């Protein structure tokens, strides 16, 4: 990400610097900070501040090979990936992945 055009923006550069400082700190002593790093990474990509969940078509929406979802809140990080030969990236597929992400995250919290 260091060579990315996203970091040409001074606000994004500050967010990245903050994320790096958090990673350099004793992040295991405060797991909430890990979710703060997750949120900062989403902000750098243009998502709203405080974003705790993201779903992406991989490699892109034109020819998706996978749908990936991540969520970080309640001091818990969860990642779910759906890989299938005939994905279309439809709203229905994204909703299914989102539901699986939500269920997996809830199970992890207990």
Per-residue pLDDT at 32: 66
Higher pLDDT: 96 or 9? It is: 96
Write down the domain spans for the chain.
1-50, 52-110
Higher pLDDT: 30 or 88? It is: 88
Confidence tier at 28 by pLDDT (50, 70, 90): low
Instruction: Classify 46 in phi/psi space as left (phi over 0), alpha (psi -120 to 50) or beta.
Output: left
Q: What is the pTM of this model?
A: 0.74
Nearest residue to 76 via CA among 38, 24, 25: 38
Under DSSP, the state recorded for 35 is H
The residue-averaged pLDDT of 6-10 equals: 70
């990315």: which residue's tokens?
4
């Amino acid at each position: 990400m260091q060579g990315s055009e996203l970091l040409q923006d001074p606000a994004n550069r500050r967010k990245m610097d903050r994320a790096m400082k958090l990673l350099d700190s004793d992040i295991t002593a405060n797991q909430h900070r890990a979710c703060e790093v997750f949120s900062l990474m989403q902000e750098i990509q243009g998502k709203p501040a405080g974003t705790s969940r993201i779903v992406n078509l991989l490699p892109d929406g034109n020819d998706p090979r996978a749908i990936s979802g991540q969520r970080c809140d309640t001091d818990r990080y969860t990642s779910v990936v759906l890989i299938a030969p005939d994905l279309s990236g439809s709203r229905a597929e994204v909703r299914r992945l989102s539901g699986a992400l939500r269920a997996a995250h809830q199970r992890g919290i207990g």
